[in-house]
Amino acid sequence: MLFTLPKLDYDYSALEPYIDAKTMEIHHTKHHQAYVDNLNAALQKYPALQVTPINELLLHLDTVPEEIRQVVRDQGGGHANHTMFWHMMKPHGGGEPKGKVALAIEKTFGSFATMQSVFNTAAKTRFGSGWAWLNVDKNGTLVINSTANQDSPLEQGMTPLLGLDVWEHAYYLKYQNKRVDYIASWWHVVNWDYVEDCYLKLVR
Binding residues (CB under 5 A) for Mn ion: these are: 165, 167, 170
CB of 169 to Mn ion, least distance (A): 5
Please give the angle made by the CA atoms of 8, 10 and 126, to the nearest 5 degrees: 65
Whole-angstrom CA distances from 121 to 1, 42, 133, 148 are 40, 35, 11, 15
Please tell me the distance from the alpha carbon of residue 174 to that of residue 73, in angstroms, as a whole number.
29
For Mn ion, which is the closer residue by CB, 36 or 105? 36
For Mn ion, which is the closer residue by CB, 109 or 167? 167
For Mn ion, which is the closer residue by CB, 119 or 167? 167
CB of 38 to Mn ion, least distance (A): 14
CB of 65 to Mn ion, least distance (A): 26
For Mn ion, which is the closer residue by CB, 136 or 170? 170
3-class DSSP state of 190: strand
CB of 165 to Mn ion, least distance (A): 4
For Mn ion, which is the closer residue by CB, 151 or 165? 165
> Of 130, 128, 135, nearest to 156 (Cα)?
135
> Of 75, 85, 80, 88, nearest to 44 (Cα)?
75
Whole-angstrom CA distances from 165 to 19, 27, 58 are 12, 10, 18
For Mn ion, which is the closer residue by CB, 31 or 102? 31
CB of 104 to Mn ion, least distance (A): 27
CB of 67 to Mn ion, least distance (A): 26
* Cβ atoms of residues 191 and 87 within 8 Å: yes
> Measured at CB, which residue is nearest to Mn ion?
165
The β-bridge relationship of strands 142-148 and 159-165 is unpaired
